[in-house]
Chain A
Amino acid sequence: MQWMTIFKKELLGDWRSMKWIWVPLVFILLCIMDPLMTYFMPRILDSVGGMPEGAVIEFPEVPPTEAIMMSLTELSMFGSLLIAAITMSVIAGERKSGVAELILVKPVNYFSYITSKWAAKLFLIFISYSLGMLASWYYVDLLFGGLSAERFFGLFIFYFIWLIFTVTVAIFYNTIFKRPGIVLAASVGTYIALSILAQVFANRSPWFPNNISSHIRSLMASGEVSSDLWIAAGVTVGISIILLIASNFSLRKAELAE
């Protein structure tokens, strides 16, 4: 009941601040940008001209399974930044402005407070991501050739697990820091640190959350979900749950005013 109240209020807040318009648009843009650029690049170069006489540039054939992976590459870079940016003030903002002083002296369960806000942001991101990936699938299918629904949904679902993780990290920092800017910096810093770690230990830690996208790449190639992907996904979900529980403790311990 209380959970739904906060969840609905968050959705309404995102609607009134136009997030329900611009976040899906940005996701769609991120997802279709690379596949479209890749397809149209030879034509653009042709029409702009300026190439020396007789120069031949070979563009490798891009299979549809590669083309759709371009969307994930964009999402991994700018998508996580965007997610951290729209999540940075869900709790920290309320604490900084002082609204939390009104809300949290009401008999609000802290765990409901955190998870309802988490779920509301995740819902916005899920819808935006779905629209973005469906648009990407449409263009890939049109321009690069057919991509089976099975592979698409495999990619779609497993990558969403990574997105859940990115939201959860940002929510966790919301309960630790009181300034949205610091939450943003800490979240992005964590994503970068994780991706560096994943690269350093690439062979030894197939279960690392960041490796989900490389496992998805092999899923696209082979059509089969590897056990590494299952494990990485499981680990990622597990860390997310732990982070949510830790957020609850962290907020409980925090002084809500100075």
Chain B
Amino acid sequence: MAVVEVRQLEKSFKGKEAVKGLDFELQRGKVIALLGPNGAGKTTTLRMLSGLLKPTKGTIRFSETNENEDIRNHIGFLPQYPSFHSWMTGKEFLIYVGQLAHLSKDEAQERANELLEKVGIANAANQRIGKYSGGMKQRLGIAQAMIHQPQLLMLDEPVSSLDPIGRREVLQLMEELKEQTTILFSTHILGDAEEICDDLLLMHNGKILESGPIKELQIKHQTSLLEIIIEENPETYIDRLKAFESIEDCKLEKGKLLVAVNDMDKARTQILQAALQEKWPLIKFELRRTTLEEMFMKVVSG
């Protein structure tokens, strides 16, 4: 079931096209990564989804809302560089935005306490935000986006500016939040996307180049490569391997035999049988999976 359907979405700034016709859907309950290099149009896309920018063309439809309803009731948004009223305390700010999202004062208060605890800044609840560190502001930013329990939580580069510890904690937090809501987050860091997302939207130059469940994409872009490590004299096996009809090429790289195959199942059986019969001193026999980085480079470079 789709939470949001985006059709033919375009945005240009003074004639310069930032987003060139996006079509995608976000599935309920998933964590979706909007992945792309800097300048791909990720932030512009998120800002259009959150209503901060008006699309030049195209439609964004939220499935839960009827025509006249304010979609802002159902979305939470964390900008890339969130800024707050620095004279307020973290708790005051959360209560403030909670009330703006139509919670009563008591509800907002309760929800603020709950979220401050959850994002791990409860001990700084009554400190002025002006004194918060970057990581604390990021957490407060996530808390304010969650205050009204939105159905779609959008986070613009939520971990890019954090140190490794802060990054880990925010990723864990997102892991917990995914139980409650659909999450769309943008990043240019492949590792973050790989670690947490279910679905992937790969964006480059204002277009979506690939989309779908990350596992399917990995299979789709899988290179048929075997990596074999043999204890002694690996070079002597090259010709032996090349003799199999299922194997296209074989070369030695840093002590590893990299084997390109045309039929993975056949090649696997043949090699293992030969290894068993001929007692090859195998150390490692691995079917190499595409990393997101390889896939990314492959898709982006055409």
Contact = CB atoms under 8 A, between A and B. Distances in A.
Interface of A: 1-2, 5-6, 9, 13, 16-17, 97-99, 101-108, 255-258
B230 to A, nearest CB: 57
Nearest to B84: A99
Contacts of A13: 85, 87-88
Interface in B78-119: 79, 81-85, 87-88, 96-97, 99-102
Given A98-B79, A99-B85, 15 more contacts: A2-B100, A5-B99, A5-B100, A6-B100, A99-B83, A101-B52, A101-B77, A102-B84, A102-B144, A103-B97, A105-B76, A106-B100, A107-B73, A107-B100, A255-B54
Nearest to A256: B52
A13 B52 CA distance: 25
B50 interface: yes
Contacts of B83: 97-99, 101-102
A16 B87 contact: yes
A17 B53 CA distance: 31
Contacts of B53: 255-257
A99 B97 CA distance: 11
Nearest to A258: B13
B47 interface: yes
30 contacts: A1-B102, A2-B100, A2-B102, A5-B96, A6-B100, A13-B87, A13-B88, A16-B87, A98-B82, A99-B83, A101-B79, A101-B82, A102-B77, A102-B84, A102-B141, A103-B97, A105-B50, A105-B75, A105-B76, A106-B72, A106-B100, A106-B148, A107-B72, A107-B100, A108-B72, A108-B100, A255-B54, A257-B53, A257-B79, A258-B13
B70 interface: yes
Interface hub of A106, A108, A256 (most chain B Cβ within 10 A)? A106
A98 B51 contact: no
A9 B72 CA distance: 21
Most chain A C-beta atoms within 10 Å of own C-beta, residue among B81, B84, B96, B141:
B96
Interface residues of B, number: 30
Contacts of A103: 97, 100
Nearest to A5: B99
Contacts of A16: 87
Contact of A105 (B51, B81, B84): B51
Contacts of B13: 258
Contact of B101 (A9, A97, A99, A107): A107
Contacts, number: 71
A1 B76 CA distance: 21
Contacts of B51: 105
Contacts of A106: 72, 97, 100-101, 148
Listed from nearest, the 9 A-B pairs whose CB atoms lie closest are A98-B83, A107-B72, A5-B99, A106-B100, A257-B52, A105-B77, A256-B52, A16-B87, A107-B70
B122 to A, nearest CB: 20
Which residue, B87, B99, B148, has most C-beta atoms of chain A within 10 A? B99
A102 B47 CA distance: 11
Contacts of B100: 2, 5-6, 103, 106-108
B292 to A, nearest CB: 29
A111 B75 CA distance: 21
A98 B81 contact: yes
Contacts of B79: 98, 101-102, 257
B72 A105 contact: yes
Nearest to A108: B100
Q: Specify which of A1, A104, A105, A256 lies most central, judged by the most chain B CB atoms within 10 Å of its CB.
A: A105
A9 B81 CA distance: 23
B154 to A, nearest CB: 9
Contacts of A105: 50-52, 72, 75-77
